[in-house]
Copies of this chain bind each other. A is one copy, B any other.
């Protein structure tokens, strides 16, 4: 999917919501456990109930790997279902991968070709040759960690590197990499005051923003400082939406939570 197609979807749906499909068998409605593939059954119900309210879905691979082969199969079924049924949706494999060049190529193949995600999240620590194999894929997007939503972000990311915070060095350095137009960045909603500074460095890039909802980030603040003329934001909510209820009506309850966020986004987009 091209960035233009993503922007068109945002304008059409009046939403820049991304829903995180972080499926935990202990938290999902227990009546689904009798299904042949409970994880996929849960995802399918959530997707069918919310696809008109969001523009992206983001399964975090950790939650699938934790269930071994069954989990990997559920991930495969989920991305296939999304690509077949809702091809207009932007898909993100939240995998935070990164390795030396020839190894990163294997990860890029896994997520872009075999699983056919539109994008994958990557970690910056190993530098240019660990990320460029992902960037080489046309119309695929590499979403690099810049400033994350967790407490540990202050351990290294905000430390001054040659006079400038590490996350800023990551943004500035990566702008010079080959096919940098395929880069997006992760910036946590819990750090809304940083968005203005970030926009000075990367005015045009899309930002994937986790941390709204369960982690305490504020949507209005994020938009005030982070939005650009093409919107440029994908705001993610996972637990706050998918675990809205664990009763029979869980999918409707999720849609209710998604609609709350979508309507807040519509107000922001109309202003």
Query: Which residues of A come within 8 Å of B, CB atoms?
Result: 22, 24, 60, 62-63, 65-69, 72-73, 76, 96-101, 103-104, 106-107, 109-110, 114-115, 123-131, 145, 148-157, 159-162, 166, 169-170, 173, 215
With A161-B156, A161-B159 as contacts: A98 and B96 at CB distance below 8 Å: yes
Say yes or no: B128 contacts A151, CB within 8 Å: yes
Say yes or no: A152 contacts B126, CB within 8 Å: yes
Closest to A149 in B: B100
With A123-B96, A130-B150 as contacts: A68 and B72 at CB distance below 8 Å: yes
Say yes or no: A150 contacts B169, CB within 8 Å: no
Shortest CB distance A101–B (Å): 7
Residues of chain B within 8 A of A161, CB atoms compared: 156, 159-161, 166
Residues of chain B within 8 A of A106, CB atoms compared: 24, 60, 62-63, 65-66
Shortest CB distance A77–B (Å): 11
Say yes or no: A162 contacts B159, CB within 8 Å: yes
Say yes or no: A127 contacts B99, CB within 8 Å: no
Q: A62-B106, A68-B72, A126-B152 are in contact. List 16 more A-B contacts (CB 8 A).
A: A60-B99, A60-B103, A62-B97, A65-B107, A67-B114, A68-B114, A98-B123, A100-B148, A125-B157, A126-B145, A126-B157, A127-B157, A128-B151, A129-B150, A156-B169, A159-B161
